[in-house]
Amino acid sequence: MSTKTAPKALTEATDLIEHARANGWNVVERWTPPGYQGPSTLTVLIGHAVRSGPPFLYHLAWTVDGKRSDQGQERTPTVAQWRRAPAAKAIRSVIAVNPVHKHR
């Protein structure tokens, strides 16, 4: 299932995904499989490799009602260990100042 057909409650997730893609970052989306006994969840991995050092990676999850899971984690070129991810607004700022420039 694509985020294009996701419930409107997932606006924060879809906005962040679209922002990342518009800035050339890689995005992988995954919904919980059919028949799963818990709440439907959208899990997203957003990343951007840098020339040297670890990449930017954000591993985030939202439930179908639009609430972001507390399980979100990040890795950055300056902090290679996984740690708690910041709010989506802060992630958008990181993406905005680190766009991927396509080579022609």
pLDDT 10s digits, 5-51:
444 558 899 999 999 999 999 999 999 888 888 888 899 999 999 88
Q: Which tokens go with 43?
A: 């899990």
| N-term to C-term CA, the chain | 32
**Kindly report the CA angle at 39 between 87 and 69, in degrees rounded to 5?**
15
Query: Is there a contact between 11 and 66 (Cβ–Cβ < 8 Å)?
Result: yes
Give me the mean pLDDT over the 40-65 stretch. 91
- What DSSP designation does 77 have? S
The answer, yes or no, to whether residue 104 has pLDDT greater than 60, is no
pLDDT at site 103: 55
Kindly report the backbone phi and psi dihedral angles of residue 7, in degrees, each rounded to the nearest multiple of 5, phi listed first.
-60, 155
